[in-house]
């Protein structure tokens, strides 16, 4: 039940609505659903030479695809960036809408899963056109086959995409 606020000067009830995002602590880690409001499955970790890493999450229904298949419409992928161990910084995400990828990002402290067509994102992801514009699609195929999440070591730091061979060679550790 939503609280009702009565403003005496106007004497009209106003329904209040608020979205509250909890903060994870070491003692009480948040589930993915608590953190983002949607169910997602971890399918890969990408470690960088500069000590940072990325955790890749995907809509669970996408893990039902076969090797070589494109991701189904509605699929959502989140990439949590970690610049310090255990502390999510920025979250980059994309969702397939009507057969095309739309993109967004937000600081971990303020989840916002809105997406829109973004030319700058597509310009980079265009290099992965053979894998449905998703650099880590081979990891999704691997996770879908039941082998569990992949763990990769990327040859680059920062936001630069890893070389495609990192994923295609099955650099599972």
Residue 78 · residue 57 · CB < 8 Å: yes
Residues 6+ apart with CB under 8 A from 156: 48, 49, 162, 163
Consecutive 10-residue runs of the chain (173 residues): their mean pLDDT? 39 33 43 92 90 93 90 96 92 97 96 94 90 90 86 79 68 39
- The predicted pLDDT at position 103 comes to 97
* Residue 163 included in any domain: yes
Q: What is d(CA 25, CA 87) in angstroms, rounded to the nearest whole number?
A: 9
Q: What is d(CA 126, CA 141) in angstroms, rounded to the nearest whole number?
A: 19
* Residue 79 included in any domain: yes
pTM as predicted = 0.77
* Residue 46 included in any domain: yes
Locate 115 and state its tokens: 């997406």
User: What are the CA-CA distances from residue 78 to residues 12, 15, 111 (Å)?
Assistant: 42, 33, 11
DSSP of 47-116, one letter per residue? E-TTS-EEEEEE-GGGGGPPTTPPPPTT-EEEEEEEEETTEEEEEEEEEEETTEEEEEEEETTS-----B
What domain range includes position 45? 30-168
* Residue 24 included in any domain: no
* Residue 12 included in any domain: no
* Residue 84 included in any domain: yes
* Residue 102 included in any domain: yes
* Residue 116 included in any domain: yes
CB atoms closer than 10 angstroms to residue 2: 8
The number of distinct structural domains making up the chain is 1
- The predicted pLDDT at position 9 comes to 37
């Amino acid at each position: 039940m939503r609280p009702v606020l009565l403003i005496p000067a106007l004497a009209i009830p106003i329904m209040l609505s608020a979205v509250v995002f909890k903060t994870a602590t070491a003692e009480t880690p948040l589930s993915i659903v608590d953190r983002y409001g949607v169910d997602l499955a971890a399918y890969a970790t990408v470690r960088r030479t500069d000590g940072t890493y990325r955790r890749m999450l995907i809509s669970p229904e996408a893990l039902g695809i076969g090797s070589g298949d494109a991701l189904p419409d509605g699929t959502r992928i989140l990439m949590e960036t970690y610049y310090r161990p255990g502390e999510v910084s920025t979250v980059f995400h994309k969702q397939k809408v009507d057969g095309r990828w739309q993109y967004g990002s937000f600081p971990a402290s303020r989840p916002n899963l809105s997406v829109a067509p973004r030319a700058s994102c597509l310009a980079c992801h265009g290099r992965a056109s053979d894998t449905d514009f998703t650099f880590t699609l081979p990891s999704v195929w691997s996770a879908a086959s039941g082998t569990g999440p992949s763990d990769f070591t990327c040859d680059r730091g920062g936001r630069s995409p890893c070389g495609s061979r990192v994923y295609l060679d099955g650099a599972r550790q």
